Structure 1
Amino acid sequence: MIETTRLILRRPEAADWPAYRAYRLSSRSTAPMPEGEAWTHFAAFFGHWALRGFGRLVATLKDGGRAIGHFGPFFPAGHPERELTWTLWDAALEGQGLAFEAARAARDHAFGALGWTTAVSYIAPDNARSQALATRLGAARDPAASNPYGDATQVWRHGRGVIA
């Protein structure tokens, strides 16, 4: 568990399903999906923890405990390197600094407790908010990095090798 000024970041719990489901079935998701597929993606949070010993964290508001998004370390099979992810599940929460607060805490956890020295974030070319967050976190575009998503995303590098 990681605590910030306004958030608690923790392992996913079954009780996070309704908020995650609402996000994945909405147009907010980069790929809105049927409920069954959303369930499979949600279950992958738990499987990643079981298989890798780490995984994305669910951010909850300290005030009320509402789950608001997932953030942090991700390294699925087939990906060329470790990734830092961030997603707010509700657009009404944008512009409050919550994504930065959670993403920074998750990044610091990966580079601290997990011992990472570098990571990437895969960001859609038209996602200006996510690109701004990556920049604020100190990441820089890395066009030479291997990209499992091809032209659908840009690679942003954190840590070693970042030229700001």
Structure 2
Amino acid sequence: MTGTTLHIPTLETERLTLRAPRLSDLDAYAAFCASPRSVGVGGPYSRTQAFDRMSGLIGQWHLRGYGRWMVADATTDAPLGVVCLFFREDWPEPEIAWSVFDAAEGRGIALEAALVSRTYAYDVLGWDTVVSCMMSDNIRSAAVAKRMGATPEAPIQHPVFGEMQVWRHLSPDQIENGGMEAYA
């Protein structure tokens, strides 16, 4: 018998584990998808739609070799959000995106997860640039992007999400040469 083997790497920080989504994450993910917090990713969604979306979290790993991680508490393994290296067909270029669940709000979880995923994009995948796209009124995500050293570029008009602000992240050379000092 032959088949396809899918590898989703696990990344760790002191507080977080970025890992493959599990069925046990569905309740937390579905709660996020049903909430107003999911508007920035096209929601709200029903539980059935959340299951389909969670299944899709895994699919891009197979199709592109990178994708979305479930962000979990390193001690309890409780799901706290999703962070990804992402490239939709209708997107301007690959991006880092993040969503945190209610329990993770205001704890620096999005920043920590996004930084480790950007390091993966640069060090493992060999990317030399990456953006983050967000709705123009998403001030919390804009604050995370700014803390990462990203700078705003001209907004794009997306056919589903409307106007989206594009934030350009520091390149690996800029990071290596101390570009993050102003944001520490």
Normalised by the length of structure 1, the TM-score is 0.88
Measured in 2, the distance between the counterparts of 1:63 and 1:120 equals 30
Aligned to 1:21: 30
Please tell me the residue identity of whatever aligns with 1:105. V
Residue identity matched to 1:122: C
Which protein, 1 or 2, shows the higher relative CO under an 8 Å CA cutoff with sep ≥ 6? 1
**After TM superposition, which residue ranges in structure 1, 4 or more long, deviate above 3 angstroms?**
145-151
User: What amino acid is aligned across from residue 104 of structure 2 in structure 1?
Assistant: L
Q: Indicate the SS of the match to 1:152.
A: strand
Q: Select which of 8, 19, 22 maps to 1:10.
A: 19
Alpha-carbon distance between aligned partners in 2 of 1:110 and 1:14, rounded to the nearest angstrom: 26
Deviation per residue, 1:95-123 (Å, 9 max, x gap) = 21121111111111111111111111111
Q: Could you tell me the TM-score, scaled by structure 2's length?
A: 0.79
**Is the Cα–Cα contact under 8 Å of residues 147 and 155 in structure 1 kept in the other structure?**
no
Aligned CA-pair RMSD: 2.3
- Paired AA for residue 72 in structure 1: C
Equivalent pairs, count: 162
The match for 1:70 is 82
Matches within 5 A, 1:36-115: 36-90=48-102, 92-115=103-126
**Equivalent-residue separation in structure 1 for 2:70 and 2:133 (angstroms):** 19
1:107 partner amino acid: R
Q: Identity percentage over the alignment?
A: 39
1:22 CA displacement = 0.9
State whether residues 57 and 68 of structure 2, in contact with CA within 8 Å, keep that contact through their aligned partners in structure 1.
yes
1:61-104 deviation digits (Å, cap 9, x = unpaired): 012110111112001223231010011022x4222112111111
What CA distance in whole angstroms lies between the structure 2 residues aligned with 1:148 and 1:127? 15
Q: CA deviation at 1:152?
A: 2.5
Secondary structure of the residue aligned to 2:112 is helix
Q: Indicate the residue corresponding to 1:139 in structure 2.
A: 150
Unaligned runs of 5+ in 2: 1-9
Deviation, structure 1 residue 38: 1.9
Find the residue that maps to 2:81 and give its secondary structure.
Answer: strand
5+ residue gaps, structure 1: none
Q: Is the 8 A contact 1:72 1:110 kept in 2?
A: no
Question: Does the 8 Å CA contact 1:80/1:148 hold for their aligned counterparts?
Answer: no
The structural deviation recorded for 1:15 is 2.2
